Amino acid sequence: MPREERERRFVNDYLLTHFPRGGWYINVPLGPVPDEIVAQHGLAKGSKLFQPSRPRIDAVIPTKDEYWLIEAKIREAKAAIGDLLVYHELAKRTPDLPGYTEQPFRLRLVVPWALDWIKLEALAHSMELVVFLPAWVEDYVRDRQLYFTRSYRIARDEKMRNRRILGLE
């Protein structure tokens, strides 16, 4: 069974819901490209060559007045705060940000719910916090909670046993 890309779906759903006209970029590589690679290949080709080594932010939205850096997490809001702080610093040193024309950076954290301490940390780091909760995320979280129950483990073990018997594994 292929792995579901829930985080990617969450980001895409958020963008399509709140910015249906587009103007955003997803999975954007951040950070500088080594000078020797740029010297040898130029910035465009060097960026592509070095792209696997660069961390990626979930989305960016360039506007005339601001440049939004967006990180979204379903389950790990604490990690998203740290990631967004690192991405902000990397964005300052990224020579090939799409649509960047020296606008001030703005940080946006997108989560399906936020405990008070998440709200306080986002505020303390000048992040805009957006709570976005599509129905499928609620279903996913409910299923995940069931995953650790005894009845789910028994059903999962039975399913795996049947797959082996049928030669599907």
- The string of pLDDT tens digits covering residues 40-64 is 998 889 888 888 889 999 999 999 9
Indicate whether 90 and 116 sit together in one domain: yes
Q: Is residue 1 part of a domain?
A: no
Averaged pLDDT, 81-94: 96
How many CA atoms, within 13 angstroms, populate the side-chain half-sphere of residue 64?
Answer: 0
Report how far residue 119's alpha carbon sits from residue 130's, in angstroms, rounded to the nearest whole number. Answer: 10
pTM, two decimal places: 0.81
Show the domain range for 125. 6-133
Is 36 contained in some domain?
Answer: yes
The chain-wide mean pLDDT, for the chain, equals 90
Domain count, the chain: 2
Return the SS3 of 67: strand
Task: Tell whether the model's pLDDT for residue 127 goes beyond 90.
Answer: yes
